[in-house]
Amino acid sequence: MADMTQGSAPKTKRAGDRLFWSVVAASATLTVLTLIASRFAATPFTPRGGRALPRMRSAPANAGELLLSLGVGSLIWYACFASAPLFIWMSRRFPFVPKRRLSSLGVHVAVVVLLAAVTALLQFKITYGDASMAPPLSAYMNVGLIGGILPFFTVAAAAHALEARSRAQERELEAERMRSQLAESRLEALTAQLQPHFLFNTLQGISTLITRDPVAADRMLTNLSDLLREVLRRGEKREVELTEELRVLESYLDISRARFGDRLTVSVAVDEAAERALVPFFILQPLVENALHHGISSHAGAGSIEIAAQRVNGQLRLRVSDDGPGTVTPDAQRGIGLANTRARLRELYGAAHSLDLGRPPEGGFRVDVTIPYRERAPSTAGVAAK
């Protein structure tokens, strides 16, 4: 969990920096656009010695007068744009969380009143200068404060809305990453649980042969060593191509042939269209192991196992069947192997998979697995080399 926290902190900081600088860029753009628009505003009546009046004497008669009536070019517009990054910073430094709501509100009110007062004072100086018709400063400040507080509060509210949306997106991404991490951990736990189970069964078979047939036991131990090497080499892969999965399975089948001798017959039928399909690593072994346990070991005679794979309408269908007595009901879990297989498929594919147990009319037992058909993306290294 420490690594996860350390990994998420830089991402959160980068997301916050992007929002801050986006607001800065938007503020600068709006300032420039306002400056351009103010050039088209109608020229108002100006007093002697003054530069511009904040109000018009009549209703707007054209687009220029409309821009002027909206205050385009007024100092309050520029002050609001320039203060947007400040309010973004304040929304992070003084958030409206339950324990700090009143103190944060007090800080925001103080900053808004200060900005409105400074803006009104500057607007008074720019508008009237040394004009003889200038109103009393105190009266103008009262009007300026009333008129300026609302725009600044609007900017502050917009900044908090942007920051809240950014935090919600970050929480959503973090939750998704946590879900993915949890799924990975579950898969690792399931695989770790499955491999000791198969290993125990294999070692039990070796111990049975070691006094009766030492040569077969030695061959079985060699095959087990090769299989474990393959499992460790590919153990970190979630999915492998079906051909690779079958190669790993062949080592396990060699071990099984050593255990059962002539009693066991295995046939593999894989459509060419399905050979490159991605399957969960080590997914066939527990299915075959269940077929061996319930279909071959359960009676003294010979038996056969069939492994098949085909691509059908964008899906990959895997089947492992045996010709044993088929006494286990189709809805039974048949031990830890199928229970783990179900869990792994659920973690990897969600509802986009199925695992069905059945008893064919001709007898025996079969397990059908259906997963989405996917292929590994082609590597660009060879193309670049060419």
Q: With 90 as the cut, is the pLDDT of residue 6 above it?
A: no
Name the pairing type of β-strands 239-241 and 278-280.
antiparallel
Strands 303-312 and 354-358: unpaired
- 176 or 68: which carries more pLDDT confidence? 176
Q: How confident is the model at residue 269 (pLDDT cuts 50, 70, 90)?
A: very high
Nearest to 282 by CA among 240, 225, 329: 240
pLDDT at 188: 59
242-261 pLDDT per residue, tens: 998 998 888 888 888 877 88
Q: Is 0.85 surpassed by the pTM of this model?
A: no
Which has the higher per-residue pLDDT, 310 or 209?
Answer: 310
For residues 227 and 206, give the distance between their C-alpha atoms in angstroms, rounded to a whole number. Answer: 14
The H-or-E segment that residue 221 falls in is helix 214-234
Give residue 321's pLDDT band: very low, low, confident or very high (50, 70, 90). very high
- Residues 123-175: tens digit of each pLDDT: 788 777 776 677 788 877 877 777 777 788 888 888 878 887 777 778 787 77
Helix-helix angle 75-93:137-212, to 10 degrees: 40
Tokens of 328: 């286990």
Q: Is 305 a residue whose pLDDT tops 90?
A: yes
pLDDT by residue (tens digit) across 45-83?
444 444 444 444 555 555 555 555 555 556 777 788 888
Domains, the chain, ordered by start: 2-176 (no CATH), 213-375 (3.30.565.10)
What b/e sequence results for 216-246 when a residue is b if at least 16 CB atoms lie within 10 Å of its CB, and e otherwise? Answer: bbebbbebbebbeebbeeeeeeebbebebbb
The span from the CA of 159 to the CA of 23, in Å, is 9
